[in-house]
């Protein structure tokens, strides 16, 4: 399964590592862990992320330089695209990546478009970090602290702190092994969940005030606007976890968060419980993800966007 990747790494020197826009814990932990593994092999890895590292993940060990904004154009022995269902999730300029080196696509989304020269897709994995862990094991890579805390955090966050249905036995076994490399579970949990600025909660209060429910309170929607960001001196990074808060309401099967990008474009995040497939809904709008966690972008006014979502959910 991993032989081709091992050969590419073994025969190469320079590698570009990237992940999707608005990176979450799995994207960041996967990218950073791969950097440290390649660095330990005396390779020359380079990381590109369109967006900055959100504040709750600033504790993760990362390389001295991470490129943001524009893709560092050069020739590489391989380009690793991690946690991307499709290549455009990397952000503007993604078309150039295939000209910069063979693309290695490692992902766990069921909607992945297998856009790489090498595609390792495992929809049964808890996270991309779980797949990378298996790769590292076949490479006999050293599980240094820098690798371990990134892998642990990636699995911890992508399983919703081991609460989501994608939490499998491997998630626990890998994380147990990472503690043997010095990772403190309480420290990671504190940094991810108990390290928010006051402004985030002021923003959350405004967002929850927009809450509306449908279909006998089984579908809940809330929204965050640019005006809310201005009023609370916050940004999109402070909304991480908001849609999960809405999902925590008793009786709610589907939670939807609408985040205003511009007055005519909205980022939609969906979470669900049980067998409700929100990825199929997001697919209708060109998005994707997992059965219980997915997203998309919809153009239109807020009323038009809500109407389209209600139509998709068959809300009268």
Burial of 103 (0-12, 13-18, 19+ CB in 10 A): buried
pLDDT, position 57 = 97
Q: Are residues 34 and 111 in the same domain?
A: yes
CATH assignment at residue 251: 3.10.310.30
Count how many domains the chain has. Answer: 2
Q: Are residues 24 and 141 in the same domain?
A: yes
Q: Are residues 305 and 259 in the same domain?
A: yes
Q: Are residues 174 and 32 in the same domain?
A: yes
Say how far apart CA 86 and CA 291 lie, in whole Å: 17
Residue 91 CB-half CA count within 13 A: 17
Q: Which of 169, 193, 217 lies at the terminal end of a domain, its last residue?
A: 193
Q: Are residues 19 and 82 in the same domain?
A: yes
Alpha-carbon distances of 227 from 138, 201, 206, 307, rounded to whole Å? 50, 15, 10, 22
Q: Are residues 68 and 158 in the same domain?
A: yes
Q: Which of 148, 164, 193 lies at the terminal end of a domain, its last residue?
A: 193
Q: Which of 162, 193, 224 lies at the terminal end of a domain, its last residue?
A: 193
Q: Are residues 187 and 225 in the same domain?
A: no
Q: Are residues 218 and 186 in the same domain?
A: no
Which token pair is 289? 């993800």
Q: Are 115 and 54 in contact (CB under 8 A)?
A: no
Say how far apart CA 247 and CA 269 lie, in whole Å: 11
Stated pTM of the model: 0.93
Q: Are residues 81 and 168 in the same domain?
A: yes
pLDDT, position 288 = 85
- Strands 212-214, 219-224: parallel, antiparallel or unpaired by DSSP? antiparallel
pLDDT, position 143 = 97
pLDDT, position 55 = 95
Residue range(s) defining the domain that contains residue 86: 3-193
Which token pair is 145? 């602290």
pLDDT along the chain (316 residues), means of 10: 95 98 96 98 97 96 94 96 94 94 96 94 97 98 97 97 94 98 98 97 98 97 98 96 96 98 96 91 91 94 96 91
Q: Are residues 179 and 268 in the same domain?
A: no
Q: Are residues 148 and 112 in the same domain?
A: yes
Q: Are 255 and 210 in contact (CB under 8 A)?
A: no
Say how far apart CA 122 and CA 168 lie, in whole Å: 13
CATH assignment at residue 51: 3.90.1640.10
C-alpha R_g of the chain: 19
pLDDT, position 316 = 78
- Cα angle 113-265-294, degrees, rounded to a multiple of 5: 40
- CB neighbour list of residue 123: distance below 8 Å, 6 or more residues apart: 108, 109, 110
Which of 304, 305, 286, 306 has the alpha carbon at shortest distance from 296? 286
Q: Are residues 166 and 245 in the same domain?
A: no
């Amino acid at each position: 399964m991993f032989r081709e990747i091992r050969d590419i790494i073994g025969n190469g020197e320079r590698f570009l590592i990237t992940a999707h826009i608005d990176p979450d814990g799995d994207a960041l932990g996967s990218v950073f862990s791969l950097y440290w593994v390649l660095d330990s092999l005396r390779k020359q890895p380079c990381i590109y992320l369109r967006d900055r590292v959100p504040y709750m993940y600033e504790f993760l060990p990362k390389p001295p330089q991470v490129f943001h904004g524009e893709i560092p154009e050069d020739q590489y022995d391989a380009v690793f695209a991690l946690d991307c269902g499709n290549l455009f999730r990397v952000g503007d300029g993604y078309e150039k990546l295939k000209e910069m080196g063979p693309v290695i696509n490692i992902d766990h989304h069921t909607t992945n478009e297998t856009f790489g020269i090498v595609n390792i897709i495992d929809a049964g994995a808890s996270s991309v970090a779980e797949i990378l862990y298996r790769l590292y094991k076949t490479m006999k890579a050293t599980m240094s602290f820098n690798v371990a805390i990134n892998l642990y955090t990636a699995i911890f966050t992508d399983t919703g702190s081991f609460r989501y249905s994608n939490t499998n036995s491997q998630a626990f076994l890998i994380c147990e092994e990472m503690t043997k490399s010095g990772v403190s579970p309480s420290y990671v949990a504190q940094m991810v969940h108990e390290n928010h600025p006051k402004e985030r909660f002021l923003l959350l209060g405004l967002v929850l005030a927009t809450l509306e429910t449908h279909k006998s309170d089984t579908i809940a929607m809330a929204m965050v606007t640019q005006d809310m960001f201005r009023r609370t001196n916050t940004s999109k990074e402070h909304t991480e976890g908001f849609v999960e808060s809405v999902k925590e309401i008793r009786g709610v099967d589907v939670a939807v968060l609408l985040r205003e990008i511009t007055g005519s474009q909205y980022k939609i995040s969906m979470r669900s419980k049980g067998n409700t497939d929100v990825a199929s809904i997001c697919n209708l709008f060109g998005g994707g993800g997992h059965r219980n966690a997915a997203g998309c972008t919809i153009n239109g006014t807020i009323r038009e966007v809500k109407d389209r979502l209600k139509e998709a959910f068959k809300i009268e």
